[in-house]
Amino acid sequence: MKLIASYAFTLIYWIAFFSLVHLSPFTPVALLLFLICFIALAAMLSGRLFFKDAQLWAHLFLFFISSFLFLTILSSLTAKNLYILFFGLISGALLALVATYTERREQFASHQYLRLVTVSYLITFWQIVAFIYFLIISFSASYANALLLVGLLAYITIHGILSANYLKKSSPFLVTVVTILTTAEFFFFLTLLPLHHYIVATLTTIWLYFIIEMVITGQELSSRRRIFTFYIVLLCAIVALILASSRFIRF
């Protein structure tokens, strides 16, 4: 029943967001229905442990907010329609995994839950960063406010992921501070280059994921040198490729 309800939520998502894109008079009702169904689904899946899962559901709500923000920066109606179809399917699959987790908390392996949380947080981060940089290049939004928001997003992301994983070799406070500072600095560096907002968001997310992998996966290894080398080479190669093709980019 919980799995059916999770996938049925995809239909509610499609109704609400298609109504929004096509400026239907039904849009306010559809968005209200979306909100009510989300709260009802959260209450049904978590049951008596709703408040224990509050952070998970707060993040999933932010996950859908990021979807709405990202939708607003797509210029093509075809792209918007395809995005709604695709993201609706992702949302249904994600909620189905959450339903499985709430039903089998003891059997649900910790690494499975960690991957579930990590993927959803990174998608949210990527979409909101793309929206933030779009505001900078299109509406001359404040760089200071943008950096504060990116830092806040980095904090929410790393805090949410670390809360699902016990660190053995690193201090959570130190990891959080380093993540916020380096992610905001890397984002600022990218904004100085002639890059599209999708590329800036992608590279910033790769950097954040690099830190997460260094901290979480690296604690299971005797040395983190291999992870560090792989991601630094990958990141440098991507940046070099973008710089080499930057003159072909049009905003």
Confidence check: pLDDT of 228 > 80: no
DSSP state, 248?
Answer: G
The per-residue pLDDT for 148 is 95
pLDDT of residue 116: 73
Taking CA atoms, 1 is separated from 41, 93, 106, 213, in Å, by 11, 15, 20, 35
Left if phi > 0, otherwise alpha if psi is -120 to 50, otherwise beta: which for 47?
A: left
Q: Cα–Cα distance between 165 and 224 in angstroms, integer?
A: 18
Rg (CA), the chain: 19
Mean residue pLDDT across the chain: 82
Residue pair 68/122 in contact (Cβ under 8 Å)? The answer is no
pLDDT(227) > 80: no
Confidence of residue 213 (pLDDT cuts 50, 70, 90): confident
Is residue 168 pLDDT above 70, yes or no?
A: no
| Eight-state DSSP code of residue 195 | -
For residue 156 the two structure tokens come to: 């929410």
Task: Enumerate the H helices of the chain as residue ranges.
Answer: 2-21, 27-46, 54-72, 77-103, 110-139, 143-162, 172-191, 197-216, 225-244
pTM comes to 0.84
Cα(135)–Cα(138) distance, integer angstroms: 5
Question: Measured between alpha carbons, how far is 100 from 105 in angstroms, rounded to an integer?
Answer: 8
Indicate the SS3 state at residue 217: coil
Q: Across residues 169-179, what is the average pLDDT?
A: 80
What's the token pair of residue 126?
Answer: 């990527």
239, with CB counted inside 10 A (0-12, 13-18, 19+), is middle
